[in-house]
């Protein structure tokens, strides 16, 4: 059992950074509203994607194309065009969330590998089995809701390869089952591929402190000198029963290094790094550090303990400069 490293490529320079630093595979999206992480200045044109595929393939890395929004009747054609483009480019897999698109892809390109996006929200083997039976899905990316023990149990019940998140921003909710962002702003991961979008963010300096608003809703307020975080709405401070707290989650990152041996032993196929919105420099650093971690872990397996300096270097890159095991650890639930 060898864990693969799957890294984000929001741009061609980020793709090169990931490949150069040891990613076994990169995932990217085409420009337009057909994938999560639909931020301005990100994603690939067809020619950029072709250059990226060539660059990765020459160096032994694979390229996955993510099309992980749920198209509406008005964006359906754009979505199927994206599948056609990806197939033409000879990518190694399509990462899809929408069952209708999976039907389209499975019918038209039966030889193109299908991966179940985390946005499909398949959190148990039966749901995964549905997608395997119907569309021949070969890999599933698990939502960040299962404990490491639950991941191991799930793998025993499925023949589909399992990919899990190893590092990056932490989604607190089951992906694909969260409408918080559209409730506050009208734009959501499922529909537009964004969460807490930048266009809805407003910062203001007030006597009470610096305030971050999302479509006018106050997400957090910072005392002078307090570090301010991007107002992702599930990571703000709110009042609940007369207490002000991070009611849903704190601004922190996921780092699964501590459970990497357990994940490897349980048969996880690949570790995914979140962050297509990140800079090439960030992608290079994270990929290099995780490559080292996976190589060490692949050699030592169950006996491996992540080196302190590796955790420190990753923490320095993390949101809030701290990390959590998130749902992998039962006490997080």
* Contacting positions for another protein (CB under 8 A): 70-73, 76, 97-101, 103-104, 120-127, 129-131, 133-134, 144-147, 150, 153, 172-174, 176-180, 182-186, 188, 190-191, 215, 217-221, 236-241, 243-245, 247-249, 327, 330-333
Distance from C-alpha of 106 to C-alpha of 138, rounded to nearest angstrom: 12
Integer Rg of the chain from CA: 19
Residue 6, H or E segment: strand 4-8
Least distance (Å) between residue 183 CB and another protein: 4
Report the residue number, 1 or 244, with the smaller CB distance to another protein: 244
Least distance (Å) between residue 25 CB and another protein: 25
Listed in sequence order, the residues at least 6 apart from 284 whose beta carbon sits closer than 8 Å to its beta carbon are 17, 18, 20, 21
Report the residue number, 61 or 119, with the smaller CB distance to another protein: 119
Length of the chain: 333
Least distance (Å) between residue 144 CB and another protein: 8
Backbone φ/ψ region at 191: left (φ over 0), alpha (ψ -120 to 50), beta: alpha
Distance from C-alpha of 102 to C-alpha of 116, rounded to nearest angstrom: 9
Report the residue number, 24 or 161, with the smaller CB distance to another protein: 161
Least distance (Å) between residue 29 CB and another protein: 18
Distance from C-alpha of 55 to C-alpha of 69, rounded to nearest angstrom: 26
Report the residue number, 188 or 255, with the smaller CB distance to another protein: 188
Least distance (Å) between residue 247 CB and another protein: 6
Closest to 249 (Cα-Cα) out of 318, 320, 156, 179: 320
Per DSSP bridges, beta strands 243-245 and 139-141 are: unpaired
Report the residue number, 160 or 284, with the smaller CB distance to another protein: 160
Least distance (Å) between residue 195 CB and another protein: 11
Report the residue number, 21 or 196, with the smaller CB distance to another protein: 196
Least distance (Å) between residue 291 CB and another protein: 29
Mapped onto helix, strand or coil, the DSSP state of residue 7 is strand
- Residue owning tokens 């307020």: 221
Report the residue number, 244 or 265, with the smaller CB distance to another protein: 244
Torsion 231-200-185-272 (CA) sign: negative
Distance from C-alpha of 110 to C-alpha of 253, rounded to nearest angstrom: 37
């Amino acid at each position: 059992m060898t864990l693969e490293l799957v890294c984000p490529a929001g741009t061609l320079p980020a793709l090169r950074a990931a490949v150069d630093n040891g990613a076994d595979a990169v995932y990217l999206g085409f420009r337009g509203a057909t994938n999560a992480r639909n931020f301005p200045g990100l994603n690939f044109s067809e020619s950029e994607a072709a250059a990226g595929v060539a660059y990765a393939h020459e160096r032994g890395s694979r390229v996955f194309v993510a099309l992980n929004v749920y198209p509406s009747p008005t964006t359906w054609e754009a979505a199927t065009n994206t599948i056609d483009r990806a197939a033409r480019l000879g990518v190694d897999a399509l990462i899809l969330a929408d069952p209708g698109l999976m039907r389209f892809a499975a019918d038209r390109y039966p030889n193109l590998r299908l991966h179940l996006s985390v946005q499909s929200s398949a959190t148990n083997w039966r749901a995964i089995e549905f997608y395997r039976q119907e569309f021949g899905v070969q890999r599933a990316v698990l939502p960040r809701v299962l404990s490491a023990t639950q991941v191991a149990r799930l793998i025993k019940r499925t023949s589909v390869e399992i990919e899990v998140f190893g590092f990056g921003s932490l989604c607190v909710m089951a992906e694909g089952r969260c409408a918080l962002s559209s409730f506050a702003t009208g734009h959501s991961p499922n529909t537009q591929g964004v969460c807490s979008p930048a266009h809805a963010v407003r910062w203001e300096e007030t006597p009470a402190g610096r305030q971050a608003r999302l479509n006018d809703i106050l997400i957090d307020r910072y005392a002078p000198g307090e570090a301010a975080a991007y107002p992702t709405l599930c990571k703000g401070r709110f009042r609940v029963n007369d207490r002000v707290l991070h009611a849903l989650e704190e601004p922190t990152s996921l780092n699964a290094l501590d459970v990497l041996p357990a994940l490897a032993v349980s048969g996880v196929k690949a570790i995914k790094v979140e962050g297509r919105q990140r800079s090439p420099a960030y992608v290079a650093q994270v990929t290099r550090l995780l490559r080292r971690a996976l190589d060490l872990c692949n050699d030592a397996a169950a006996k491996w303990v992540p080196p302190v300096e590796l955790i420190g270097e990753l923490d320095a890159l993390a949101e809030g400069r701290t990390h959590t095991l998130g749902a992998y650890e039962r006490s997080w639930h």
